[in-house]
Amino acid sequence: MSSPRNLCFTVSSLALMIISLTVILKKWHCGLREKDFGDAAPSMDLTPGRKRLLQQLRERQQEIVPFYITSQQELSEMKPKFSSVDGEHTKRNKTLWNAKTSGSDIGCNDLSGMTVVDFLGAGYTKTVLKVILPQGVSVALKSVNDQGTDMRSCLEDFKDPRGCQELVSFKLRKEIVLLQRLQHPNIVKLRGQCQDSALAGGVMAVLEQGTPVQMIQLLQRPWEERFRVCLGLVRLLHYLSNSPLGSVALLDFQPRQFVMVSGELKLTDLDDANAGEPACQAHSDCLLRFPLRNFTALCSPHGICEGLNEMRNLYNAYRYFFIYLLPHQTPAALKPLVDQIMNATGELKQSINKTLEVFEDILHVYKSGMYLRNMPISIIKDYAVLKGIGTAGNMEYKCWLSYSHQGCVLSVYNATEAALICNSHPQCTSFSVSGQKTWTGRLLASFRSGFSHLVPDVSSTVYVRRSKASAAVL
Ligand SMILES: Nc1ncnc2c1ncn2[C@@H]1O[C@H](COP(=O)(O)OP(=O)(O)O)[C@@H](O)[C@H]1O
Ligand SMILES: *[C@@H]1O[C@H](CO)[C@@H](O)[C@H](O)[C@H]1NC(C)=O
Ligand SMILES: *[C@@H]1O[C@H](CO)[C@@H](O)[C@H](O)[C@H]1NC(C)=O
Ligand SMILES: *[C@@H]1O[C@H](CO)[C@@H](O)[C@H](O)[C@H]1NC(C)=O
Ligand SMILES: *[C@@H]1O[C@H](CO)[C@@H](O)[C@H](O)[C@H]1NC(C)=O
Ligand SMILES: *[C@@H]1O[C@H](CO)[C@@H](O)[C@H](O)[C@H]1NC(C)=O
Ligand SMILES: [Mg+2]
């Protein structure tokens, strides 16, 4: 079993990287159980700065209250309980937290035996560490970034470390409740949380672990992988437009707010999400400004900017993801559909629903090999088929956007499409297909310019190009 001492050792070895957690642990060790911030002195003693801080705390609290509430009825029942920042309120609030955390979730107790093994990332508000829990599970642990811009500017304004910790923590609390209410395959999974300040001195979220989104790396991936990222994003935005909390806008929409989990894009930073459309009096209140384009939504008779959140999300998806990931090296048969998406989203001419429809169409055409119908399928006859055979001593050649860095490995619908590709590569003399599949279920084919001998391999079939067979090293 890991002891706190064990944990301290690990932490000190990573000390420079993860100062924030060290602070948390120090508090924990010295048993500094300060009084709840809510039990502060009576308001007459408050300096103007402290009053402002309390005001901000109250505002942040008000901001997240609606997320806990599922129905209007619950809302009316809840309101009085959340009316002030006092001890009574805190107690009720804790009950609420506990009710929200199901038994199987990872909680404060599991976290007390964790080992910090790596630093995963940090932003203005939060720090993310890779930790191993006593059960041996590896997870991402989010806590407040004590060195972050949010904390610094709060300290500058109020010079109150305890109050600022509380204030910034609200962003993480907001994120936790949003992760509970908004569940989708393209939103990072909340595996647990700890909000017991007595134990570890801060709010912590336990998340499934991902890797940062690296655009440069993604650009070098095959089209199918890049399409997967964009499709995941569109599915997410479709969900957010029709979510249990209404239409949700991501105000800080950038690749760094997402992580990759086994090839799938997942949103991880939700503290800047906004539920519900903005209020308005005139259409001009519904202006959406981007560096290169402006759009306006319509102000509805009910005084809300209709569809503004969806427009904001979709245009951001276009300018941060689609432009880079979607067009280049699109399979020829899919190009018209991809062009249509680029044109329509770049001008916000189509809704997220319609955009998702086109994306799903593309996926269907791609998976079903429909686009091969007009291809000269008889060319497969130019190849000798060797079933249950693999190759050894291969002479590889490299091709653009290959799944493998060493050779030419591409995704194909079937052997006929692979033959078409082999015919179009002057170096190609043979290819083989194994049981390996991509996320869409398509086959991976390896193309090569020669091989020294054949070997038995039940999972593989080799196709040798007859016209080139004499040239190949056999
Ligand atoms: N589940 C995760 N797995 C791996 N890295 C993560 C995870 N969540 C966040 N990160 C990394 O940590 C960084 C900071 O997290 P984020 O929630 O964006 O904090 P902030 O609100 O301060 O921007 C992210 O940019 C990302 O690189
Ligand atoms: C929740 O509880 C914390 C303390 O545990 C308190 O500071 C905060 O104001 C409460 N907020 C809400 C919305 O529950
Ligand atoms: C967008 O609108 C703002 C304010 O109305 C204006 O100043 C800006 O020039 C517009 N930008 C573009 C690209 O039209
Ligand atoms: C997209 O826009 C370009 C330029 O405006 C146009 O030439 C092209 O035909 C459009 N494509 C589609 C599919 O709408
Ligand atoms: C979009 O799709 C969702 C669910 O598929 C549906 O509930 C919603 O009404 C649609 N929106 C529009 C504007 O058609
Ligand atoms: C590959 O798929 C195309 C289109 O469905 C089909 O015509 C062709 O016969 C298939 N080739 C093989 C080898 O199965
Ligand atoms: Mg972030």
Q: Which ligand is nearest to the CA of 172?
A: 1
Average pLDDT in the 301-308 region? 96
Please tell me if the CB atom of residue 360 comes closer than 6 angstroms to any atom of ligand 4: no
Q: What is the mean pLDDT of residues 397-417?
A: 94
Identify the pLDDT of residue 48: 87
Question: Which residues are designated catalytic?
Answer: 252
* Alpha carbon of 311 to ligand 3 centroid (Å): 17
Instruction: Lowest mean pLDDT of 57-71, 113-127, 328-342, name the range.
Output: 57-71
Ligand 4 binding pocket includes 343 (Cβ within 6 Å): yes
Locate all alpha helices (DSSP H) within 251-386, ordered by sequence. Answer: 308-317, 323-325, 335-346, 352-368
The Cα 198–Cα 31 span in angstroms is: 8
Question: Could you read off the pLDDT of 266-286 as tens digits, one per residue?
Answer: 999 999 999 999 999 999 999
> What's the mean pLDDT in 224-252?
97
What's the pLDDT score for residue 88? 44
User: What is the reported pLDDT for 198?
Assistant: 59
**Can you tell me which atom of ligand 6 is nearest the CA of 414?**
1
Residue 352 binned pLDDT confidence (cut-offs 50, 70, 90): very high
- Enter the tokens of residue 200: 């570890």
Instruction: Give the number of other Cβ atoms within 10 Å of residue 275's Cβ.
Output: 19
For the cut 60, the answer to whether the pLDDT of residue 171 exceeds it is yes
Q: Report the candidate in 223, 439, 203 with the shortest Cα–Cα distance to residue 332.
A: 223
Q: How far is the CA of 73 from the centre of ligand 2 (A)?
A: 21
Taking the CA of residue 351 as reference, the ligand 5 atom at the shortest distance is 13
Write down the pLDDT at residue 19. Answer: 38
At residue 3, the pLDDT reads 45
Q: Which two tokens stand for residue 114?
A: 């964790």
Tell me the pTM.
0.83
pLDDT tens digits, one per residue of 413-431: 999 999 999 999 999 999 9
Q: Which ligand is nearest to the CA of 213?
A: 1
Counting atoms of ligand 3 from 1, which one is nearest the CA of 294?
A: 1
- Tell me how far apart the alpha carbons of residues 272 and 275 are, in angstroms, rounded to a whole number: 10
**% of the chain exceeding 90 in pLDDT:** 71
Tokens representing 452 are 């020294």
Backbone angles phi and psi of 48, in degrees to 5: -60, -40
* pLDDT band with cut points at 50, 70 and 90 for residue 177: very high
**Ranges 21-30, 114-123, 177-186, 202-211: which has the least confidence:** 21-30
Pocket probe mutation, ligand 5, options 242, 243, 359, max atoms within 8 Å of Cβ: 242
Give the highest mean pLDDT range of 11-20, 63-72, 107-116, 217-226: 217-226
Looking at residue 6, its pLDDT comes to 45
User: Please, what is the Cα angle at 239 between 274 and 234, to 5 degrees?
Assistant: 100
Task: State phi, psi for 383 to the nearest 5 degrees.
Answer: -115, 140
Q: Whose CA is nearest to atom 2 of ligand 5?
A: 353
Q: Which tokens belong to 428?
A: 């190609």
Q: What is the number of the ligand closest to the CA of 296? A: 3
Q: What is the mean pLDDT of the chain?
A: 85
Task: Compute how many other C-beta atoms are within 10 angstroms of the C-beta atom of residue 251.
Answer: 12
- 86 pLDDT band, cuts 50/70/90, is very low
Ligand 2 centre from 315 Cα, in Å? 35
Q: Which of 43-47, 299-303, 326-330 has the lowest mean pLDDT?
A: 43-47
Identify the pLDDT of residue 468: 63
CA distance linking residue 87 with residue 83, whole number of Å: 12
CA of 46 to the centre of ligand 2 (A): 21
Distances (CA, A) of 263 to 64, 139, 259, 306, 405: 32, 17, 10, 34, 17
Of 218, 217, 258, 252, which is closest to residue 236 (Cα–Cα)? 258
Tell me which residue of 157, 163, 153, 156 sits closest to 38, measured CA to CA. 163
